[in-house]
A and B are shown apart, each in its own frame.
Chain A
Amino acid sequence: MSETALQAILSLLIKQIVLFLLPAFAVAGWMNQRMVQGGQHPAITAIVALGLGPAAAIALFFHLMLIAPNMPYWLYIGLVSLPFLVLFVLFFRQSLMCFGEAWSSLQKLILPIKGGALLFPVGLVLFLMAWVRYLWLKPVMEHDTLEYATQGLVFFLNPVIEYSAHRYDAATGFYYVGLHGLNFPLFSTWELMFNAAVGTTSNLLFRSLNSYYGLLIALFVFLYLRRFAPRAAWFGLAMLMLSYIFFENILKYHIDSYRLFFGVAAVWSMLECIERPQWRNFFWFGVLSGLQASAHSLGVFLSVIEFACLFLFLPLPLLPRTKMLLYAFALFFTGGALHYVLDVSIGTGWIFKEIAFF
């Protein structure tokens, strides 16, 4: 039975709380606890956590399906949420501080504008209403996105991640032609499992991914440039929106905003490591570069470049430099590169095969 608009929106809200906000709050509190002494701005930490949280949850989901296939749907949902729930409780206060700071940073940028006090809440509500209406009206309908969504559907019907020479679904004839990590399709799987567990049917969460991460990129640019001046933040935001592709992309359902977000966050994290070469910064760099890799094949190469740059420019003697990078590399490997190693050794061959351009 199909849902009404209200039911679908309500289920979207619940899914966003479970998959987006809970992990984001948990991660933000943890990050803030570990990074605030390093001098990072909590508002930036909050934005990074909003993107990192859901992706980390899905990375955990990937590992669960890899090592413990064919479990009941509700168990996957529960096991993915559990560690984040624990972190959320442990770092609740830090998390509140982090998001409070992000919120007040945004307010400080917008409220001084003439009419900003009215513009901010009204604009936010109107934006959310328009966003949800847009998601409701526009179905998933582009080649790459449908590839990911369909592979997600295949994982839902057969909850196991296996590696073989061809990702072919004998039941439907579907052949997954994607080369990239499986995290993005797994968002679709998670939503289908959640639907099956609670009795909902819509795919609005999957539809919301691109615009959600697009918005996070815009917020990152905005809040990062704020360190120079509020006007610089506005200029940056306007220029980003006026680059045609960003504007077009934010309206699509695609993987681009997702992978770009981790591209930006990983570079930010790389520079933090150079500025403050401490273990905690390497921890987050490892996690973010891993998620960058798990999002897209290009992310693997960008991560490798980042590791090479860190190796060259870290202001540390060779031994501690190598130790810290190996620590980050272990996280990068577990968080994202593992898929490609498996895909090359026992799977499709990844990019080491003849690639067709679609």
Chain B
Amino acid sequence: MKTGLTPKHWRFLLTLFIVLLVVDVLVYYITGQKDLNADPNLQDRNIETAGKLWLNGYLGTLFHFRFLGNINWLILPLAWIYRKQILASRVLLCLSAFMVLSLILIGLKGYFNPRYQFTLLPLIVMIIVAGIWQLPTIRPDWISLRQPILILLLLACMGNMFLILGGERAIRNFNRVLGDKSKGPVQVTESLPEGVAYVKELHLCLDSLLAPGEKVLVNNLPEVYYYTKAFGHYYWCGSDLLYGREGPALLFKNRSPEQARSYIVDTLGCSWVYTFKSYNRYNPAFETFLKEDCEQRYSDYDFTELYRIRR
């Protein structure tokens, strides 16, 4: 097949392939390291080590491969290739200044939340494709090279997607996104502790499980307010903040376990705690309260849990 590619082009493609592979391996190696002693919140956000904090956090827009794909960093070499054109064009200069300032802003203020790193993704994809397609304006002999480069990048994206889709996080996410809650996997019911009843969708049953007037301590699960008539005191154990009429206030940090229990039961009037299993470990005092002062009664497909506070 006549491709119009010269040996020099093939060498370039081979080099690009090797570079993509090396960068992928390096980034996946660094971001694959775990520190099980670190803050669970940081572990959940995949930024618990210094390397992960940089690659998944500050530079996440470019290097958070597990989340945003593995080609975004190519805007850096593209910017270098186009440096003369950028300096000569107000449009490109404006776009470049916007991208640099936005990357800094998102890196500094959005490193904690991968969704913020998602902000520039469509623009980056457009810049990469347009930049590669326009390469012949810089080097006319590259006209036959731009399509093979894009095919190579597409293959790199597919490989990355394949890696991610095989990962535990993706399976968990897709189960949450696409899972048919009405069925519910059998193994969940089997793994529940003794005395805990499995319900299909706990939030939809809440109105029938609670006696009229009973109040709930709601651990950051707003479905209680959207789907039920229950009165819930809004709490987030990750920050130990109870959100009331006067704003957020600490619940466990300034109180002994007995005082906290008394406050929840007597002052707030709560009889139940509605929480999510993986949230509980964010706050040892809250987790201890659940273990020692409460009794788990219900759990659902998603490991949302309902505890009865012992009287």
Contacts and interface: CB of A to CB of B under 8 A. Distances in A.
Interface residues of A, number: 71
Given A259-B119, A263-B123, A271-B95, A174 B234 contact: yes
B160 interface: yes
B4 to A, nearest CB: 15
Contacts of A177: 234, 236, 243
B170 interface: yes
B161 interface: yes
A165 B247 contact: yes
Nearest to B119: A263
Contacts of B173: 248
A305 B105 contact: yes
A280 B41 CA distance: 47
Interface residues of B, number: 77
Interface string B225-266: 110001111101011010111111000000000000000000
Interface stretch (A65-73, A110-118, A218-226): A218-226
A314 B91 CA distance: 9
Given A172-B232, A175-B243, A271-B91, A242 B154 contact: yes
A121 interface: no
B221 interface: yes
B161 A260 contact: no
Contacts, number: 205
B232 A173 contact: yes
B130 A232 contact: yes
Interface in B265-298: none
Contact of B226 (A146, A302, A308): A146
A195 interface: no
Given A166-B245, A168-B245, A301-B105, A244 B170 contact: yes
Interface in A225-277: 225, 228-229, 231-232, 235-236, 238-240, 242-249, 251-252, 254, 256, 259-260, 263-264, 267, 270-271, 274-275
B140 interface: no
A101 interface: no
Contacts of B157: 238-239, 242-243
B43 interface: no
B94 A239 contact: no
A298 B111 CA distance: 13
24 contacts: A143-B220, A146-B225, A173-B215, A173-B218, A173-B233, A173-B244, A221-B125, A224-B126, A228-B130, A239-B125, A239-B153, A244-B165, A251-B177, A254-B115, A256-B118, A260-B118, A270-B98, A274-B91, A301-B105, A306-B98, A356-B241, A357-B41, A357-B113, A357-B239
SS of A interface (majority): helix
B222 to A, nearest CB: 4
A174 B230 CA distance: 10
B289 to A, nearest CB: 19
A345 B73 CA distance: 40
A309 B98 contact: yes
Contact of A358 (B174, B178, B236): B236
Contact of B232 (A174, A239, A306): A174
Given A175-B234, A252-B177, A298-B110, A221 B126 contact: yes
B244 A175 contact: yes
Nearest to A249: B118
Contacts of B93: 313
Contacts of B246: 166
Interface in B112-155: 112-116, 118-123, 125-126, 128-130, 133-134, 147, 150, 153-154
